[in-house]
Amino acid sequence: MEKEKVSSGNIIDFKVLKRIMQFVKPYKGRFYFVIVLTFLLGILTPIRPLLIQYTLDAHVQYG
């Protein structure tokens, strides 16, 4: 009978992360750039409707 793989229960499995990083090594700069961009977009996405509201309220004339 084969052994079944059991999840460690951790949020981040560092063994898997280490294996992924081996494949990413040639593209390390791009990888980190994409990670930073992901966090920035996560922060800026909720702000977009506020910017649109401000633009319409402050700079677009009524009528």
What DSSP letter does each residue of 3-33 carry, written as one string? PPP-----SS-HHHHHHHHHHHGGGHHHHHH
**Distance between CA atoms of 36 and 49, rounded to whole angstroms?**
22
Per residue in 3-29, pLDDT (tens digit) is 666 666 678 788 988 998 899 999 999
- pLDDT-based confidence at residue 54 (cuts at 50, 70, 90): very high
Our CA angle for 45, 47, 32, nearest 5°, is 45
Would you kindly state where each structural domain of the chain is located, as residue ranges? 14-59
Report the share of the chain in percent with pLDDT over 90. Answer: 46
Query: Other C-beta atoms within 10 Å of 21: how many?
Result: 11
pLDDT confidence tier of residue 53, bands split at 50, 70 and 90: very high
